[in-house]
Amino acid sequence: MKKNPQQRIEELRKLIKEHDYNYYILAQPTISDYEYDQLVNELIKLEKENPHLITPDSPTQRVGSDLTNVFNPVTHRVPMLSLSNTYSEEEMYDFDRRVKDGLPKNEKVEYVCELKIDGVSVSLRYKNGLLVTAATRGDGTTGEEITNNIKTIRSVPLSIRKPESKKLNLDDIEVRGEIYMEIEAFKKINEERELNGEKTFANPRNLTAGTIKLLDPQLVAKRPLKIFVYYLYSETDELTTHYENLKLLREMGFPVNQNYKLCKDIEEVMKFCNDWEDKRDTLPYEIDGVVVKVNSLKQQKILGNIAKSPRWAVAYKFKAKQAKTRLNKIVWQVGRTGTLTPVAELEPVFLAGSTISRATLHNIDEIKRKDIREGDVVIIEKGGDVIPKVVAVDLSQRPRNSQEVKLPSKCPVCNSNLFRPENEVAIYCENNLCPAQIKGRIEHFASRGAMDITGLGEALINLFVDLGYLKDYSDIYHLKEHKEELIQIERLGEKSVDNLLTSIEKSKEKPFDKVLFALGIRYVGAGVAKKIADHFRSIDALMNASEEEIESIHEIGPSISKSIRRFFSDNNNIKLIERLKKAGLKFKSEEVKIASDKLKGKSFVLTGTLSSMSREEAKEKIILLGGHVLSAVSKNTDFVVVGENPGSKFDNAQKLGIPILSEEEFLKMIE
């Protein structure tokens, strides 16, 4: 007799779940990929015919077809703490001593050592066995909801298995872990992006962080993210040790990194740390240290937390990864302001997640101090996502005929004269029209923090400048007149040209302060541009302002005001601005529409994190009601709004006797 659809659907789900467990957790598949796909396809078909039978934990529901993320704030039931770091054996012994000092005399302490996965932490909440929310760490107290993205990760169980070894109440649990990407997958994605002219990611962690915050889960599903979980939280008091918890998590169907160890003392812990520091390169994913946790949950409770990290755990961080390679050549790069920066061209080496072929050398003094020369074998280092640097030279391998590095006498790009201002180590190319400076200025104009024109990166700008389409950044807004020619350029094509032109159009909506920043006036960074835009509110007012007037703005000094005056005294710059105005860019601040005068004339200072809104939102609300927001507390401040973990502004307010508002009181006031 044929089974009814409901029965078969349930049976299929159970089978698929079992095979997922065999594949992702035990790494022992018992059927072929083909057979597995057959099961999934049958389930999809049956669910299509019987949509009322679809449940949220069905394996077909990993990628919803029309879901997007909204990133709602999620308050963590237990704050997501971070760990304090240690870098040496000594510090580890200190940690061991502190743990023992914090516990009743002569109590035995065991530790669990785990690999510290270099990814992004996530918290998963399961109610009645079902995954209900996944959230980022955020500030530790409140994170963002990313459930739809996390569901696409196949090794994240949508529902938990009932563990056989123990009868526990697991109706409401929280599981924490690290989302990461394997090194090979990372390399592949970066290679593809490079081919498509898209920005590449610095390391697997950045790519992971970027991916879990994508709006569209369908895109997330295409990136091979993985997870290791390392923490179980449950209200039940039946749990006793972290070691047991790790075993339990695996039984429940979670991927737990199997390279963990129960250690009876700190000596054993150190051995684990040293062994893995040597072996780290044998893993297919990145680790940046070892996490050491007190095993007994009772002892963890006694030890408790200090500020943002637990007293019962610590991270032993590995030393920055180093590699040796040959420095083939030193080239001088010309930046948008004409500064010449020495860059080392290296024999490519793979180091900490990416292939490195260049490293910055900062300036000539740095080169002299380290006595770096062309042809040397050098030691390079990369810590976190910082740009690689040359730390030392292996003098034993120096070629016999090597020569000290000399400053160039002419600009390496346009052959103009160079100058070196007194008391500065930097040297500059004098020629404002030097192609390298032009390219640098356009790159800055289009960059993320400025006009944010996606798709217009370094490579394309170089190409467009060389082909004559861009002579300065105002030409960007005339690229559309050359659309047909651009499509003909090899590797561009109609679709990418369309995308580019769309993002160029979109950039016209950028507010005045971003436009001002994009102009690339020396010393006018994003923060300064915002202050100036807020004060003058239009480019015309700024152009007519004297140095004194500019300096009257809080924290704006003479070097900035002189640089601004110099910029506007150049006729070419005035013409540039005229062209940008014609293109439709915003050279005026938006009028702020005051909704009421409830807070008229009142000044506020904000400190700490608010749980119901971001600081920017709070600021907007205050302005909308006629008040204003200051950055520092003074006698003239009317109110100080205090959120979680306030800074020194809170202390100052108390000292000066300024009225203090809790978040709740503030919300009442702006209701």
In the three-class reduction of DSSP (H, G, I as helix; E, B as strand; rest coil), residue 80 is classed as: coil
Identify the residue among 39, 40, 81, 670 touching ligand IVH (CB under 6 A): 81
Length of the chain: 671
CA separation for the pair 479, 497 (Å, rounded)? 10
In a 13 Å sphere around the CA of 473, the CA atoms on its Cβ side amount to 30
- Closer to ligand IVH at the Cβ: 95 or 230? 230
- Closer to ligand IVH at the Cβ: 246 or 390? 246
Among 3-11, 308-316, 435-443, 470-478, the segment contacting ligand IVH (CB under 6 A): 308-316
In the three-class reduction of DSSP (H, G, I as helix; E, B as strand; rest coil), residue 303 is classed as: helix
Q: How far is the CB of 602 from ligand IVH (least distance, A)?
A: 39
- What does each C-alpha distance from 30 to 44, 110, 270 come to in angstroms? 22, 37, 39
Q: How far is the CB of 30 from ligand IVH (least distance, A)?
A: 29
Q: How far is the CB of 215 from ligand IVH (least distance, A)?
A: 23
H or E stretch at 126: strand 120-127
- Closer to ligand IVH at the Cβ: 230 or 428? 230
Identify the residue among 116, 151, 250, 311 touching ligand IVH (CB under 6 A): 116
494-513 binders of ligand IVH (CB under 6 A): none
Identify the residue among 50, 82, 341, 360 touching ligand IVH (CB under 6 A): 82
User: Does 460 engage in binding with ligand IVH (CB under 6 A)?
Assistant: no
- Closer to ligand IVH at the Cβ: 102 or 435? 102
Among 64-72, 307-315, 341-349, 530-538, the segment contacting ligand IVH (CB under 6 A): 307-315
* Annotated catalytic residue 593: no
Return all residues near 248 (Cβ < 8 A) that are at least 6 apart. Answer: 163, 165, 166, 168, 232, 239
Residues 105, 108, 116, 530: which is the catalytic one? 116
**Residue for token pair 């030279």:** 393
User: Does 259 engage in binding with ligand IVH (CB under 6 A)?
Assistant: no
User: Does 310 engage in binding with ligand IVH (CB under 6 A)?
Assistant: yes
User: Does 303 engage in binding with ligand IVH (CB under 6 A)?
Assistant: no
Among 87-95, 115-123, 386-394, 512-520, the segment contacting ligand IVH (CB under 6 A): 115-123
CA separation for the pair 199, 541 (Å, rounded)? 37
Q: Which pair of tokens denotes residue 7?
A: 């029965």
- Closer to ligand IVH at the Cβ: 84 or 462? 84
3-state secondary structure string across 155-211: CCCCECCCCCCCCCCCCEEEEEEEEECCHHHHHHHHHHHHHCCCCCCCCHHHHHHHH
Q: How far is the CB of 183 from ligand IVH (least distance, A)?
A: 16
Identify the residue among 20, 96, 114, 443 touching ligand IVH (CB under 6 A): 114
Nearest to 577 by CA among 479, 460, 569: 569
User: Does 138 engage in binding with ligand IVH (CB under 6 A)?
Assistant: no
Give strand ranges (E) for 406-528: 418-419, 428-429
Residue 99 neighbours by CB distance under 10 Å: 23
156-215 binders of ligand IVH (CB under 6 A): 178
Identify the residue among 225, 291, 390, 451 touching ligand IVH (CB under 6 A): 291
- Closer to ligand IVH at the Cβ: 79 or 129? 79
Q: What is the DSSP letter of 2?
A: P
User: Does 225 engage in binding with ligand IVH (CB under 6 A)?
Assistant: no
* DSSP3 helix / strand / coil % (the chain, rounded to 5): 40, 20, 40
Among 36-44, 80-88, 154-162, 485-493, the segment contacting ligand IVH (CB under 6 A): 80-88
Identify the residue among 24, 126, 186, 230 touching ligand IVH (CB under 6 A): 230
**278 burial level (CB within 10 Å; 0-12, 13-18, 19+):** exposed
Binding interface with ligand IVH (CB under 6 A): 81-83, 114, 116-117, 121, 178, 230-231, 291, 310, 313, 315
Residues with active-site annotation: 116
